[in-house]
Structures are given as structure tokens and as C-alpha cells.
């Protein structure tokens, strides 16, 4: 037996190296696995390198553009001071509204004790595979990032956290083929599912009936029904609505509101489940 | 030595590539630098050393992909074995020939990755094949990278460090 192993040692070892990952892949498919110790070690080595490179590039770019923009600084300063005064006035009004909101919530017995804070993160890399499209950010478990947290910019939704390790996390983009988001057309409130088209550029609409009122240019927002994304976040604009004869559902393309190729910072929201009101206790 | 060097190179290049991809805004088209390293191993390393190194490089790419599934270690070992088979017929000691073999490997790698992604996709849709639209540019970048990395890779290969004639006499 031992001599047989020695004889075919190379074949057995290389065969195992070939078949083990294949079987793992075919059994797990697109789901992937939770990061193990080796994954964490690799990411612990690569994340500081990526962070350093990103900082160096941003620093060089910032220094150059800062030098160029010095000329118009005085004019911009005056404009900013004016805007700041206006923003302060708006902030006061919002503070009042917030206080009122909190009073009303308290009256309704709604508690925010479990809601986690929002987390701002910087994009330090884009994954090296064209088949799974994700961004690497510089916030991880230690900062409270959790799998499933929605990531967005002021323009709209970017994606959701797919994997978290110590000091970094990976955000799966909404254009990834595995991404499915509950959506609603803002104008007509028609419900839909926004699915990543896989090319890294756009999404397509699913589960929209042939006769539903959807036209080119409609804004698509999150519906809040998928258990991940809060309601009302902008996903993108509907384009190329097509209704094929004898089809039950219409087809449409959605151009993301965010230019996903140029995302530099994202805001991570707590999971939508954290917003859910507490279940009232049943008195017996 | 060669095992550690190629794996360290893969880790270094993948880290840089992730940052550069962010800066350049590329999405569908990527430079698959790991193919160059695996082909080099296939042409120059022993079966065991190359097999383990290819597996490790594929594993790194898997981790960097954001969703480790096992696809890339499998493709890396497969590419290594195919490159090893090719080495029986082609003596890729010249830079141009090495680059051509890497280009061929990049095409095969891309097609196989798209096929297996489609095979396990939830809906079995053709959306996973969209990544193939970037394959020609990806292949061209891979050929270019192979040509540029050739001098560095040659230094990892002891076969090139031959003693000069008359040195031992």
C-alpha cells in the first residue's frame, strides 16, 4: 500500500490539489465561505499595503489638485461662509424636528436602543476577479461592520457587505449577478426586483408585470421589503423598457445612480432589522 | 524558494492590482497577473512544487475575489497542468513565446471561469458570460504583463543561472 502511494505520490497529491477546490466550488457554488484563519492572515497582510498605496496615491493627487485650486480659494471661501450660515439655520430646524420625532417615538413606545451607528468607510481596493464584483473598504469587525450592512453614497446604493474580517470588509456591488434588491418605481410605486446584470455596469428589473406602469427615465428606489436595505434609497434610472409579445413580465435595464467605477467613500448603514420596532410583550 | 517567491509575488501584485483597478475604474476587464505566474510555474517548476504553488496562488486570488469559493485554486492548478503539458512541446525560453503561451492560458482561464460561474449561478442565466466581453483586452494585458515580467521571473529560475563555459575548469 505504502509502495503504491510512493509510486503514485505526485499523481495523488496533484489530483487532490485539483479536485478538492473543484468539489468545494461545485458544492458551495456562489455562496462562498466564511473567512477562516488563513483568509484573515492573507487579508491582514494585504490590507495595510492597499491602505498605504491608496493613501499615497490620494495624497499625491490631493497635493497636486490643492496647489492648482489655491487661486480660486478666496472666492470659494466667501461662498462657503454664506452656505455655512444657511446650513446652520437648516440644522437648527432639523434639530427641532428631530427632537419632536424623538418625543413622538417615545409616545409610541418605539426604542432605538439596538440601532447601531452608521459607519463611514474608504474604498481601498477593487477585487481582482471580474466574476465577483466587490470593493474592499478600510473598516471591519473592529469598527462594528457586519455582513449584510447596506453601503451607499449620497447619490444612491452601492451594495452590501459580503464579508468582514478584522480591519477590512468586502462590499458586493448591486451590479453583481448575485445581488437581488427589493425595489419600487418611485413614480408609480410598482414593485420589482433589481438584479445585477453581471457586466459591472447595470442591473435589470425582474418580477414586473407586462401591464405595469414603468417607462424610461423612472427612478427606482429600494422598497425595504428585502430585509436588508431601508426603504427609499435611490438605486438608479430605468432605461430600455421592452414589452415582448406574449410575455408575462416586461424587461428593463437600470442604470445605477452611483458611478460604481469611481466610488471612493461609502456609508454603511445598520441592518434594516435594527430599525424594526420591538415586538410588544403579550400579557397573560 | 521558488514556491515562496512566486506566492509572495502573487500577493504583492494582487494587492497593487486591487488599488490600481480602483484608480483606473476598470470593472469587467482585469489584468489576471496570476495566470502569468502559474504559466511560469508550469513551464519551469517541478510537478509537486508547481502544483502547490499554483494552488496557493489560486487561493490568494480566491481570497482577493471577495467571495472565496474554490474556483480559482482549481483553475490555477488546471492551468498549471496544461502549461506543464505544453512545456513538453514548446520550449518557452524566449520572452515572446512565453507571452504567447500566457495569452492562450488567459483565454482558457477566462472561458473556464465564465463556464463554471454559469454552471453554478442561481438562475443559470447568461449574465455570467458578460465578463467574457472584456476577455480580449484582458488577454492583451496578460500578454503585455508576461513580456514585462519575464526578466524578473527568469531570475527565479535556477536553470538560467548556468555556470559560464570554462568556469569550473
pLDDT at residue B169, rounded to an integer: 41
Inter-chain contact B15–A46, Cβ cutoff 8 Å?
A: yes
Q: Which of A71-75, A252-256, B39-43 has the lowest mean pLDDT?
A: A71-75
pLDDT at residue A113, rounded to an integer: 46
Quick one: angle between helices B71-87 and A9-28, nearest 10?
A: 140
Decide if A265 contacts A120 (C-beta within 8 A). yes
pLDDT at residue B166, rounded to an integer: 47
Please indicate if any CB of chain A lies within 8 Å of the CB of B56. no
Residue of A nearest to B21 (CA): A126
pLDDT at residue A232, rounded to an integer: 85
Inter-chain contact A14–B122, Cβ cutoff 8 Å?
A: no
Decide if A174 contacts A253 (C-beta within 8 A). no
Q: What is the pLDDT of residues A183-192, one digit of tens each?
A: 998 888 888 8
Q: What is the pLDDT of residues B21-76, one digit of tens each?
A: 777 765 545 677 889 999 999 888 888 888 999 999 999 988 887 777 788 899 99
Inter-chain contact A30–B130, Cβ cutoff 8 Å?
A: no
Decide if A200 contacts A260 (C-beta within 8 A). yes
Inter-chain contact B21–A126, Cβ cutoff 8 Å?
A: yes
Calculate how close chain A gets to B78, using CA atoms only, in Å: 7
The mean pLDDT value for B67-91 works out to 86
Where do we find the cell 453581471? A198
pLDDT: is B108 or B127 the higher one?
Answer: B108
- d(CA A30, CA B68) in angstroms, rounded, equals 9
Provide the mean pLDDT of chain A.
80
pLDDT at residue A274, rounded to an integer: 44
Where do we find the cell 471591519? A140
CATH number listed for the domain at residues A113-275: 2.40.10.340
Please indicate if any CB of chain A lies within 8 Å of the CB of B49. no
pLDDT at residue A276, rounded to an integer: 45
Contacts of A110 (CB under 8 A, 6+ apart): A277, A278
Short-list B73, B131, B21, CA closest to A135? B21
Inter-chain contact B28–A199, Cβ cutoff 8 Å?
A: yes
pLDDT at residue A85, rounded to an integer: 83
Short-list B86, B124, B19, CA closest to A177? B124
Return the percentage of chain A with pLDDT > 70, whole number: 86
Which residue stretches of A69-191 are H helix?
A: 73-108
pLDDT: is B125 or B68 the higher one?
Answer: B68
Contacts of A253 (CB under 8 A, 6+ apart): A197, A202, A203, A204, A205, A238, A239, A240
Suggest the residue from B59, B63, B145 to mutate for an interface test with chain A (most A CBs closer than 10 A).
Answer: B63
Q: Model-level pTM? A: 0.66
Q: How confident is the model at residue A70 (pLDDT cuts 50, 70, 90)?
A: confident
Inter-chain contact B26–A261, Cβ cutoff 8 Å?
A: yes
pLDDT at A207 over 80: yes
For residue A136, list chain B residues with Cβ-Cβ distance below 8 A: 18, 66
Inter-chain contact A128–B51, Cβ cutoff 8 Å?
A: no
pLDDT at residue B27, rounded to an integer: 56
Q: What is the pLDDT of residues A127-171, one digit of tens each?
A: 766 666 788 888 888 888 888 889 988 888 999 998 888 788 888
Report CA-CA distances (Å) from B86 to A213, B24, B97, B100, B152: 58, 34, 12, 12, 22
Pairing outcome for strands A234-242 and A251-256: antiparallel
* Total count of residues recorded for chain A: 284
Domains and CATH numbers, chain B: 2-156 (1.10.1760)
ipTM for this prediction: 0.80
pLDDT at residue A102, rounded to an integer: 78
- d(CA B120, CA A28) in angstroms, rounded, equals 9
The closest CB to that of A128, out of B30, B69, B125, belongs to: B30
Decide if A49 contacts B14 (C-beta within 8 A). no
The closest CB to that of B47, out of A14, A172, A196, belongs to: A14
Calculate how close chain A gets to B37, using CA atoms only, in Å: 15
Short-list A114, A112, A90, CA closest to A101? A112
Report CA-CA distances (Å) from A31 to A14, A34, A148: 26, 9, 13
Q: What is the pLDDT of residues A17-66, one digit of tens each?
A: 888 888 888 887 666 677 788 888 888 888 888 888 888 888 887 787 77
pLDDT at A115 over 70: no
pLDDT at residue B79, rounded to an integer: 92
Residue of A nearest to B47 (CA): A10
Inter-chain contact B47–A10, Cβ cutoff 8 Å?
A: yes
Q: Which of A117-121, A171-175, B119-123 has the lowest mean pLDDT?
A: B119-123
Inter-chain contact B70–A49, Cβ cutoff 8 Å?
A: no
- With 0-12 / 13-18 / 19 or more C-beta atoms within 10 angstroms meaning exposed / middle / buried, residue B81 is buried
For residue A21, list chain B residues with Cβ-Cβ distance below 8 A: 55, 58, 62, 70-74, 77
Pairing outcome for strands A219-222 and A180-185: antiparallel
pLDDT: is B68 or A115 the higher one?
Answer: B68
pLDDT at residue A10, rounded to an integer: 83
Please indicate if any CB of chain A lies within 8 Å of the CB of B124. no
pLDDT at A89 over 60: yes
pLDDT at residue B61, rounded to an integer: 87
φ, ψ dihedrals at A193, nearest 5°:
-120, 125
For residue B52, list chain A residues with Cβ-Cβ distance below 8 A: 17
Suggest the residue from B8, B21, B22 to mutate for an interface test with chain A (most A CBs closer than 10 A).
Answer: B22
Residue of A nearest to B53 (CA): A17
- d(CA A277, CA B143) in angstroms, rounded, equals 57
Domain with CATH 2.40.10.340 in chain A: 113-275
Amino acid at each position: 500500500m505504502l509502495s503504491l502511494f510512493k509510486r503514485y505520490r505526485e499523481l495523488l497529491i496533484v489530483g487532490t490539489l485539483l479536485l478538492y477546490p473543484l468539489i468545494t466550488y461545485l458544492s458551495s457554488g456562489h455562496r462562498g465561505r466564511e473567512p477562516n484563519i488563513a483568509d484573515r492572515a492573507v487579508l491582514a497582510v494585504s490590507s495595510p499595503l492597499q491602505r498605504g498605496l491608496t493613501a499615497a496615491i490620494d495624497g499625491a493627487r490631493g497635493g497636486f489638485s490643492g496647489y492648482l485650486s489655491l487661486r480660486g480659494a478666496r472666492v470659494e471661501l466667501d461662498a462657503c461662509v454664506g452656505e455655512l450660515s444657511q446650513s446652520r439655520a437648516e440644522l437648527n430646524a432639523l434639530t427641532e424636528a428631530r427632537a419632536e420625532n424623538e418625543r413622538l417615538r417615545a409616545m409610541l413606545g418605539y426604542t432605538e436602543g439596538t440601532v447601531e451607528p452608521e459607519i463611514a468607510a474608504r474604498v481601498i481596493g477593487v477585487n481582482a476577479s471580474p466574476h465577483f464584483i466587490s470593493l474592499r473598504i478600510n473598516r471591519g469587525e473592529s469598527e462594528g461592520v457586519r455582513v449584510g450592512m447596506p453601503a451607499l453614497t449620497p447619490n444612491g446604493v452601492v451594495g452590501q457587505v459580503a464579508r468582514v474580517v478584522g480591519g477590512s470588509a468586502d462590499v458586493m456591488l448591486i451590479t453583481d449577478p448575485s445581488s437581488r434588491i427589493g425595489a419600487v418605481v418611485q413614480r408609480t410605486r410598482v414593485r420589482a426586483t433589481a438584479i445585477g446584470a453581471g457586466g459591472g455596469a447595470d442591473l435589470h428589473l425582474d418580477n414586473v408585470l407586462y401591464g405595469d406602469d414603468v417607462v424610461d427615465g423612472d427612478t427606482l428606489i429600494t422598497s425595504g421589503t428585502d430585509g436588508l436595505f431601508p426603504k427609499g434609497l435611490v438605486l438608479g434610472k430605468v432605461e430600455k423598457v421592452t414589452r415582448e409579445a406574449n410575455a408575462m413580465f416586461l424587461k428593463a435595464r437600470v442604470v445605477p445612480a452611483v458611478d460604481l467605477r469611481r466610488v471612493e467613500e461609502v456609508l454603511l448603514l445598520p441592518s434594516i432589522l435594527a430599525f424594526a420596532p420591538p415586538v410588544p410583550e403579550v400579557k397573560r | 524558494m521558488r514556491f515562496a517567491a512566486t506566492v509572495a509575488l502573487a500577493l504583492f501584485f494582487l494587492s497593487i492590482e486591487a488599488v490600481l483597478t480602483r484608480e483606473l475604474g476598470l470593472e469587467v476587464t482585469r489584468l489576471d497577473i496570476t495566470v502569468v505566474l502559474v504559466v511560469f510555474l508550469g513551464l519551469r517548476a517541478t510537478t509537486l512544487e508547481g502544483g502547490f504553488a499554483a494552488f496557493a496562488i489560486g487561493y490568494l486570488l480566491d481570497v482577493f475575489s471577495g467571495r472565496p469559493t474554490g474556483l480559482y485554486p482549481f483553475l490555477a492548478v488546471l492551468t498549471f497542468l496544461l502549461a506543464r503539458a505544453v512545456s513538453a512541446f514548446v520550449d518557452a525560453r524566449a520572452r515572446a513565446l512565453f507571452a504567447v503561451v500566457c495569452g492562450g492560458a488567459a483565454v482558457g482561464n477566462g472561458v473556464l471561469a465564465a463556464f463554471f460561474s454559469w454552471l453554478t449561478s442561481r438562475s443559470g442565466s447568461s449574465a455570467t458570460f458578460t465578463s467574457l466581453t472584456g476577455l480580449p483586452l484582458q488577454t492583451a494585458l496578460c500578454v503585455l504583463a508576461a513580456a514585462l515580467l519575464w526578466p524578473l521571473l527568469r531570475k527565479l529560475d535556477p536553470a538560467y543561472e548556468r555556470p559560464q563555459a570554462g568556469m569550473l575548469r
